[in-house]
Structures are given as structure tokens and as C-alpha cells.
Amino acid sequence: MSNVPNAPVRLKDIARDLNVSVMTVSKVVRGCADVGAETRSRVLARIKELNYQPNWVARSLAARRTFMIGLIVPDLMHSFFAEIAKGVSTTIRPLGYDVVICNSEEDCAVESSEVDRLLARQVDGLILASAQPPSSMDVFSRIEARNVPYVLVDRRFVAASAPYVGADDEAIGRLATKHLIERGCRRIAHIAGPPLTTGLGRLKGYREALASAGLTVPDSYIVNATDDASGYEAARRLLTVDPRPDGIFGYNDPTAAGAMKAILEAGIGIPQSIKVIGVGNVHYSDLLRVPLSTIDQSSASIGQQAAEILVKAIGSKRRRPPRTVIIPPTLVVRESTGR
């Protein structure tokens, strides 16, 4: 070890103590997987013993990276996006990266500002669940002009030159609606989401499933909402429609949960008189007064795969064609549609 009193511990000091290479110690610090378990254990024990603290500034200068990535989601209070953030964080952290998480509040102007802020901080890459209008490319063009890799999650923008990880929203709409049909519903309403790829795709799948079953619905059966409060109001409107719907497909779990509150307040039985299904399989779905049937989108897996794609892009010396990863939706049946 260095003879200088209180001298900072260096990687080469740890390597010399354990008779391993500096590269091996560096890989352990960065969380790389290609180090044997016994060697990793010895290195980690010595790091803890010496209270080694990596010099991130020196590391960033040497690698010409900040080892930070930005994650922008529209609503961190929604557990779907919180699970995506968790998937990103647990994947990125062992690789030596930090995650800066921003909440756009489903506001495209706020999102644009956060993108500029992250680019100014010279993040190595971005992951976005974008709130931009489907035809808008301004934010993505600015990212691409800086040559910063980015990955889109949940919301697709076909014109953007970026990988995408998410679910097939048309398949989600078909699966949810078909389930209600199979449960005997014939007057199926839809609480539709915002005019983004998620909302539009699920609406299209809903219409396709109805058409395949030879069912038609009046325009009054389709109302818009985004959260539990607006879902509650949407359901109150649907309960005034004649004939009253016997099934409701909510754009997401919060809208479906709000709808169930309105239905139960009106003294109407779930699932006896109206069956309800949502999307997202959020953490409280099975804790509601009537546990909510839903479509699971594997949100943590979306975050994990997006992070893996981004890290590969950051480490690549050449740009590769954008990759699309579609995660199949899974039906989760609970009491709101009948066991």
C-alpha cells in the first residue's frame, strides 16, 4: 500500500494486495459478470475493508462518459411506470451507471425541457415513455442531433430512429375485449386513453374484437379518461346510457378502478351486472374491494430490456438499425369479471 498517510486507495493497490490484475478489480467495481465468484468475493471483501471509493470524475474523463442515463416517464405515481423505472435501475446499477429519473407529468412541454436538461448534463443515453403527440419529432431530432443513444418504451413513434420496447396495444385491446365477450358481455363500453399509440392501439383492438364477434356499440359507449378520478366520472356517464353497458374495458387499471368505484356507489353489482377489466396489473389491483381483472404488460421486463439495449448502444462504436421488442400481454383474471 502507499506509504503516504491517509492516501486514497487505488485500484492498483487492491490488485497488488490480492495478486490479481487491475482490470479484474475494475470489472468487479463496475459489476461486470465475467469475473469468477471466488475472485469477486475476495475483491469485494478487500474493497469493503479499505473503504475504497471510486473516483468517478477520473473514470468519466478517462472513458469520455458520465456513466449517467436519463429516464423520463409521464407519471411516477403510476406503478406501471414505477416498475419500469425499477427494471431500468436494477439492470443499470450493477453496470456502473446511475439513473436520473424525470417525471414529465404527461406534459410534452415539460418532457421537452427535461430532455434538454439531461442533454446539458451530458447523459450517456436516454429512455423515454414520451408524452409527445404522435406526429411530433422535434424532441427526438434534438436527441439524435447530439448523437445520444435513446430507447422508447410503452409509446411508439415509428418515425423516430430509436429502439422500442413495449407491448402490442392492439393485442391488449383485443385480449381484454374478447375476455369480456367470453364472460357473456354483449354491451361492452371502453374508457379510452389519450390519443397516443397506447390509447389508439387499445381502442383499435377493442373495435376489432367487437367486429369479430359481430357486435356493435353506440358512440356513447366510448368515453375518455386517464386516471382513477376521470375513470370515475367516465363510468358515471356510462351508467346513464340506455341500454346500460354490461362490460367495461378500462384503458388502464386506474381508469378501471375509478369506474368500479362509480358502479359500486350506484348499488350495481360487479361482476353480476357489469364486468370490468383494466390494463397494467398495478400493485393494488388484487387489493380492491372487488379484485380487478387486468392485462399484465410485464412492466419490469420492459425497463430491464430497454436498459440492456441502451447500454449496448452506448458501448457500440457504430449505430445499429433500431430494434423493436414486443412483449406479449398476459390476461390476469380476478373477481371483477368473474372467476
175/291 same-domain check: yes
44/86 same-domain check: no
Higher confidence at residue 222 or residue 320? 222
141/209 same-domain check: no
322 belongs to a structural domain:
yes
139/245 same-domain check: no
Question: Quick one: what percent of the chain has pLDDT higher than 70?
Answer: 92
82 belongs to a structural domain:
yes
Confidence of residue 59 (pLDDT cuts 50, 70, 90): low
In 3D space, the residue among 249, 248, 267, 260 whose CA is nearest the CA of residue 284 turns out to be: 260
Q: Quick check: 152 and 162 in contact, CB under 8 A?
A: yes
73 belongs to a structural domain:
yes
- Dump pLDDT digits (tens) for 72-123: 999 888 888 999 999 999 998 877 788 999 999 989 999 999 999 999 988 9
pLDDT at 286: 77
Helix (H, G, I), strand (E, B) or coil at 54: coil
2 belongs to a structural domain:
no
- In this model, does residue 33 exceed pLDDT 70? no
6 belongs to a structural domain:
no
303/159 same-domain check: yes
pLDDT at 47: 82
293/274 same-domain check: yes
3 belongs to a structural domain:
no
In 3D space, the residue among 277, 270, 274 whose CA is nearest the CA of residue 294 turns out to be: 277
Q: What DSSP line would sit under 185-254, residue for residue?
A: --SEEEEE--SSHHHHHHHHHHHHHHHHTT----GGGEEE-SSHHHHHHHHHHHTTSSSPPSEEEESSHH
pLDDT at 50: 81
Confidence of residue 2 (pLDDT cuts 50, 70, 90): very low
Q: Please give the single-letter amino acid code of residue 21.
A: S
303/161 same-domain check: yes
- In this model, does residue 186 exceed pLDDT 90? yes
Prior bond of 243 cis (ω within 30°): yes
Cβ contacts of 204 within 8 Å, gap of 6 or more: 169, 170, 173
- In this model, does residue 61 exceed pLDDT 70? no
CA distance 192 to 189: 9
Confidence of residue 58 (pLDDT cuts 50, 70, 90): low
**CB atoms < 10 A from the CB of 105, how many?**
15
pLDDT at 12: 83
Helix (H, G, I), strand (E, B) or coil at 173: helix
214/95 same-domain check: no
- In this model, does residue 317 exceed pLDDT 90? no
181/293 same-domain check: yes
Instruction: Tell me which residue range forms the domain holding 195.
Output: 169-297+332-337
pLDDT at 297: 92
- Dump pLDDT digits (tens) for 255-272: 999 999 999 999 999 999
- Dump pLDDT digits (tens) for 187-222: 999 999 988 889 999 999 999 999 999 999 999 999
In 3D space, the residue among 31, 129, 11 whose CA is nearest the CA of residue 72 turns out to be: 129
Confidence of residue 157 (pLDDT cuts 50, 70, 90): confident
Give how many domains the chain has, as a whole number: 3
Question: Quick one: what percent of the chain has pLDDT higher than 90?
Answer: 61
264/281 same-domain check: yes
> What CATH number did the domain enclosing 87 receive?
3.40.50.2300
1 belongs to a structural domain:
no
Helix (H, G, I), strand (E, B) or coil at 128: strand
pLDDT at 320: 74
277/174 same-domain check: yes
pLDDT at 1: 44
101 belongs to a structural domain:
yes
228/136 same-domain check: no
Which residue is it, cell 449496448? Answer: 312
**330-332 and 222-224 strand pairing:** unpaired
